[in-house]
Structure 1
């Protein structure tokens, strides 16, 4: 193998690894952004569910609700 061929081969390998590295980094950043969006959606849903549970707790612990249930049971 001549010196020129080795230099060309080294350049191609270097450029190839550089391209693969950039593609992989883009893939990872895309996955990270998708993961972040999914986490944000789950957090929003969790907040909404916590608010609903808090509202239900207020209704159930309200004196008027307990009184209505006692009248139903009579």
Structure 2
């Protein structure tokens, strides 16, 4: 193998390993961003579920008030 061929191979190996290393770093950054986005999505989902539960409780309370017979009597009195 000639000296020129060896120099070309060394340069190719150096550049190739640098490119592979940069690709790996980008992959790790992307993986980190995805994990952060997933944790944010899980937090939002938990908040939304808690809000839905609270709203269901409020609706049940309002339904109990509206279907109460004394509520109907109060409305009739207010109409007069």
Pair in the same fold by TM > 0.5: yes
1:18 matched to 2:24? The reply is yes
Distance 2:28 2:73 in 1: 67
The Cα shift of 1:36 comes to: 1.2
Distance 1:29 1:72 in 2: 58
Q: Rg: which structure is higher?
A: 2
1:32 matched to 2:38? The reply is yes
The Cα shift of 1:22 comes to: 0.5
Deviations 1:3-56 (Å, cap 9, x if unpaired)? 101111111111111110010011011111111111111111111111101100
What is the TM-score of this pair, normalised by structure 2?
A: 0.85
What is the TM-score of this pair, normalised by structure 1?
A: 0.91
The total of aligned residue pairs comes to: 74
RMSD: 1.2
- After the TM superposition, list the runs of 4 or more consecutive aligned residues in structure 1 that deviate by more than 2 angstroms: none
